[in-house]
Amino acid sequence: QMVSSYLFSWFNCDVPYRIEQHTVGWTPRLDGTLLIEHELVVTDSIVARMVLGVRNTLRMRLQNQVGFKLNKLWGTPVQLRIVVRPLKLRASVRDRAQAGIPVPSE
């Protein structure tokens, strides 16, 4: 729930509605931390790029902020790992232009 609240505050329009969330697992570690693995499934690779941000900055910020809030709520150290997985791969206009593939003009 906390992950989706950040997604809705950071992205506009229909991007948050294109994202499915799955908690893959909860693993208590020997040092007392709780490792939570979370997966965001998006419709295609272009939406995945938007969610990841430049050099994964948005995903890392999401991990840090949600992990910090869970740590504060539960009183135990939490390490959150978020993976973004696209359902289909689609090349953007920039990718097609760099690969030398003709880009249709509108």
Count of other CB atoms within 10 angstroms of residue 49: 16
Confidence of residue 44 (pLDDT cuts 50, 70, 90): confident
Q: For residues 77 and 6, which has the higher predicted lDDT (pLDDT)?
A: 77
Q: Give the rounded percent of residues in the chain with a pLDDT score beyond 70.
A: 96
Model confidence pLDDT, tens digit, residues 23-37 = 999 999 999 999 999
Q: Can you spell out the DSSP letters for 4-52? A: HHHHHHH--TTTGGGEEEEEEEEEE-TTS-EEEEEEEEEEEHHHHHHHH
Above 80 in pLDDT, residue 1?
A: no
Q: Which residue has the tokens 């992990």?
A: 67
The mean per-residue pLDDT over the stretch 38-56 comes to 90
- Residue 106's pLDDT is 58
